[in-house]
Structure 1
Amino acid sequence: WIGIIVTTSTNDWVVTCSYTIPTCRKMDELGSKGLWADCVMATGLYHCKPLVDILILPGYVQACRALMIAASVLGLPAILLLLTVLPCIRMGHEPGVAKYRRAQLAGVLLI
């Protein structure tokens, strides 16, 4: 779940280069694209331009943004539910069916 949050925030989803990566690093022509910004590395400086115009973005970028945010938001409740279903944790005198249903709900949230 933490990996999803880190991945969502990074700008290294697509690395753009006309040549091989080592050649582009030597020539300072390496760029990268993420869900939130387009970045260019030139002469040792790393400059990013944020992608703020939602209507101009392609549909797949908007879909990736929505899915990654949904996964980040739903991950925490799912993990908390999974912690309550561990065999070493008992919550009062609950029946086994309640624990089983919480485990199912947590599994659905994680998917």
Structure 2
Amino acid sequence: MEVSQEEKQGILRAIDLYVEGGRKASGKIAAEAFSPTATMSWNEEGKLKSVPIQVLIDGFDSWEPTEASYELTTLDVAEDVAIVRIESQFGPSKFADMFTLVKDGELWKIVSKVYHVKK
């Protein structure tokens, strides 16, 4: 399906808020990107870990502001749901981040984040 520029911008607004929250060490900014019921999952020492997104939001509040950037690698949309993959960097740390988003009214909200820390 062809994604309109408007829809792409709406989806990337959520990703931008997430990255900006990290850049400014602001959970308040990052929270705007996520559904309150969103989750974050990753693999730690071979084991699946999953937490409510509030853990990430609280974590951003404990950070120091840092350089942050991302490169979009995948954007797949089916009407009102989307999957996004980015390569991100927060300070010296690099990640492969994948997000599932759902359109909520006019806004796109991240409902899940999974990530891999790049070595």
TM-score (norm 2): 0.24
- Higher RCO structure, 1 or 2 (CA under 8 Å, sep 6+): 2
Asked which structure has the greater CA Rg, the reply is 1
| Higher relative helix content | 1
| Higher relative strand content | 2
TM-score (norm 1): 0.25
